[in-house]
Structure 1
Amino acid sequence: MDKSNFTLLRGTTIFRVIFIMFLLALWLNGDAAIEAFLLIMILSTMVVVRWRFEPPGWTVLVDQLACILVIPFWPQAWLGMTLPLFESALKGKALYSIPLLLVGASFAIPSIFTVFFLLLSLGLGWLIKETTVLVRNLQKEADQDRQDRYELEKLKGDLLEANIKTAYMAELTERTRIARDLHDHVGHELTGATLALQAFEQLWKEDNAKAEEVFRQVSERLNDSVTHLRETVHNTKSDITMGSSRLEKICEAYQACDVTWQADGDTMRVPVYIWGILEPVLKEALTNVSRHSNANHVDVFLDVSKKIVRLHVSDNGKTKHTSEAGIGIRNLQTRAKAVGGNISFSSSDRGFQLVCVLPLESNHIFSADKKA
């Protein structure tokens, strides 16, 4: 049970016990009527039942009926009405107080003190009920927040694992292609050249006229092997510019205004999936400059440290101040959070600024990399 709920339950139980002890003291200081004792026993039994179980709300009518029957014999039974009135307010069932109102209309309530006591119990029951509802709502919100954080962490782990698996599969595919090319072309030609060399050696020893022809075949096969080897090496180089060079080319291709590009740190340490986030972040930042700023210069700075990579984009224009992110930035913020990073931005009369910070060292990354 939650600590706050336990406190409310304990407070309710304490109120019930104190009230029973109060009635018992009144009975002992009075004429000790047997009807009063029976009323106290009935109310005590109902208190125990409500403490141990969760009876229906209509059971407060039992308390009221017992008090109504005893009022003619023991006037202090009016104070006994405090407990069912408290329970009615606690259950949020005001209609259960109608019997009390009918009795009050038939018999005069003994004193102002009794009226005050009844109203106090009604207010106390209502206060505890509202507090309980508030605590439950807060607990639901807290549970929902915990669930959202759990789902976000799970999404983060899944995305990291998918990124690493994608990079691993791309690397594995490229290795397979290179091995296949080497086997199908270079290996075949080298095997043929080896056999031709053995034939040439035998013909050379025999001073056979075909030795010259065989030597020419060996030379051609070796040339073909070198050619295929060069093509294979050339094909391992991607036609698409990656990493910081790709970001630099995006800056060079930007036409709206001048862009100054600067990079610091060892960019070779940045994994592929990080570049897959930095590239759309830079494009989105430059797009926002074009749409919302009258800048004539943009500064782009990439800083790679031991643990993080930081991309900072700022311009010298004037933009309308806003704290709401557009769809593009919100999507990028989700991607950044999925890998443990963050994207912040600001727009004011001093221009547009965007900062993307992504971690290079993560337990998720290392664990997934070891699995791969």
Structure 2
Amino acid sequence: MNIALKVLVLVYLLAMGVTQASLLTPMALAALLLMLGLHTCRQRLYDHTYLLAVEFVVITVAIAYGAPLSLWYAVLAFDLAFKKLFVGLIPILGAIYVYSLYPKNPLLLLLTALAVLLALALNEIETQNLKHQHTLDKERRLRYSLEETKQKLLKSQEEVEHITEVQERNRIAHEIHDSVGHNIAGILMQMQVAHKCLDQDKDKTRVALTKSISKLTETLEILRDTVHNLRPIEKAGIDYIRAIIDDYEYCPVEFLPSGDLSNIPPRLLQAVASIVKEALTNTSRYSKATNVRIELDVNDKFLRLYILDNGVGCSHVRAGLGLSGMRERVTNLGGTITVSGDEGFLIVCVLYR
């Protein structure tokens, strides 16, 4: 708009020079070319208030020598108002008054006022555009930052799942080593005793073989449970938990899920499945229960697993391999677990998402 205004002024001045050749003197042309040069310098090289002051002096001197450049005051007023240098408008109005330009050109003051209003309007539009662009840039940076944070969270989740998987494998390896390995070593010793006493003491041989068979049966059950826990999840989501419960034949199981069960993280699903398996196994072995109640409540922040049977319970809960494995698994996931044997056997587990 500034350039367009100056082009219109230039066309006007040239037209005036053509129609009134006596007014367009060499000094007026030189002053006009100097003004255009100063304007080009401000636009492309060095935009400073001092150059506006130089333009004002050149115009005023040229007008004093009769050059018809008074209309350029409107252009100067536009530039000053656009930069919000309102003090600079005072000399322009003073020059119009001193040289008595207003009576000769009544529209000059009106044109100057319109140029000032136009400059203020354009300045406000440009300010709003800059604010809008700044807001867009800030929003774009926030989106990039959010996407970067999301990727970091996904990567962290994958790392946590990997660490959890490694810890679970280590736990199972320790369990096999500590329980199965120990039992097999004991069975080997019993078999060696039976072999030595085979021809000498048949009663002692029979006792050793009986202990070996009992220990081997116990070892087989531990090994079967461990291998079952290593099986991959064949069904997705809550169906995997339902399949575990449906396969349980010792007593009826009442399963009461609630909340959004479709997006349980795999690491939490595996933990819940392991706890349910261990709890149902313990019920069939020790509780003499006729009913088991399982509640699974899921929300955006955590999930809560509640397991209660109506069995005999126990006054002192001994943390065997199964319960120790539960606690270790839940602790590794940053959750909490509570066990009670006062009225039946109760397990309450909270896992955070």
Deviation at 1:87, TM superposition (A): 1.0
Deviation at 1:57, TM superposition (A): 2.5
Q: 1:170 to 1:26 in 2, by over 3 A?
A: same
Which aligned pairs between 1:174-213 and structure 2 lie closer than 5 A?
Answer: 174-194=168-188, 197=191, 200=194, 207-209=199-201, 211-212=205-206
Residue 117 (str. 1) matches residue 111 (str. 2): yes
Q: 1:163 to 1:103 in 2, by over 3 A?
A: same
- Report the AA paired with residue 60 of structure 2: I
Aligned equivalent of 2:4, options 11, 14, 20: 14
Deviation at 1:226, TM superposition (A): 4.3
Deviation at 1:179, TM superposition (A): 1.6
Q: Which moved more, 1:24-33 or 1:141-150?
A: 24-33
CA contact (8 A) 1:182 1:229 kept: yes
Which aligned pairs between 1:265-276 and structure 2 lie closer than 5 A?
Answer: 267=261, 270-272=264-266
- Report the AA paired with residue 184 of structure 1: D
- Report the AA paired with residue 109 of structure 2: V
Residue 140 (str. 1) matches residue 145 (str. 2): no
Which aligned pairs between 1:12-51 and structure 2 lie closer than 5 A?
Answer: 12-29=2-19, 30-31=21-22, 32-51=24-43
Distance, in Å, in 1 between the alignment partners of 2:63 and 2:173 is 100
Question: Among the aligned pairs, what percent are the same residue?
Answer: 21
Q: 1:192 to 1:42 in 2, by over 3 A?
A: same
Which aligned pairs between 1:74-153 and structure 2 lie closer than 5 A?
Answer: 74-109=66-101, 110-153=104-147
- Report the AA paired with residue 56 of structure 1: H
CA deviations on 1:284-313 (whole Å, 9 max, x unpaired) are xxxxxxxxxxxxxxxxxxxxxxxxxxxxxx
SS of the residue aligned with 2:71?
Answer: helix
Deviation at 1:136, TM superposition (A): 0.4
CA contact (8 A) 1:43 1:63 kept: yes
Distance, in Å, in 2 between the alignment partners of 1:226 and 1:128 is 87
Deviation at 1:178, TM superposition (A): 1.5
SS of the residue aligned with 2:151?
Answer: helix
Distance, in Å, in 2 between the alignment partners of 1:270 and 1:72 is 87
Q: 1:117 to 1:279 in 2, by over 3 A?
A: same
Q: Which moved more, 1:83-92 or 1:167-176?
A: 167-176
Distance, in Å, in 2 between the alignment partners of 1:264 and 1:97 is 71
CA contact (8 A) 1:13 1:51 kept: no
Match of 1:298 in 2: none
SS of the residue aligned with 1:25?
Answer: helix
CA contact (8 A) 1:35 1:70 kept: yes
Residue 69 (str. 1) matches residue 61 (str. 2): yes
Q: 1:138 to 1:119 in 2, by over 3 A?
A: same
Q: 1:84 to 1:269 in 2, by over 3 A?
A: closer
Aligned equivalent of 2:212, options 215, 218, 231: 218
The TM-score with structure 2 as length reference comes to: 0.58
Distance, in Å, in 1 between the alignment partners of 2:214 and 2:89 is 109
Q: 1:74 to 1:191 in 2, by over 3 A?
A: farther
Which aligned pairs between 1:165-180 and structure 2 lie closer than 5 A?
Answer: 165-180=159-174
The TM-score with structure 1 as length reference comes to: 0.55
CA deviations on 1:181-225 (whole Å, 9 max, x unpaired) are 111211232244356547756875xx4547546535533542452
Deviation at 1:49, TM superposition (A): 1.1
Distance, in Å, in 2 between the alignment partners of 1:148 and 1:54 is 35
Distance, in Å, in 2 between the alignment partners of 1:45 and 1:14 is 16
Distance, in Å, in 2 between the alignment partners of 1:273 and 1:58 is 71
- Report the AA paired with residue 29 of structure 2: F
CA contact (8 A) 1:58 1:96 kept: no
With a CA cutoff of 8 Å and minimum separation of 6, indicate the structure with the bigger relative contact order.
1
Structure 1 vs Structure 2 CA RMSD: 3.9
CA deviations on 1:218-246 (whole Å, 9 max, x unpaired) are 3354245246558868999xxxxxx869x
Match of 2:298 in 1: 279
Match of 2:294 in 1: none
Distance, in Å, in 2 between the alignment partners of 1:54 and 1:274 is 66
Distance, in Å, in 2 between the alignment partners of 1:101 and 1:157 is 62
SS of the residue aligned with 1:117?
Answer: helix
Which aligned pairs between 1:348-363 and structure 2 lie closer than 5 A?
Answer: none
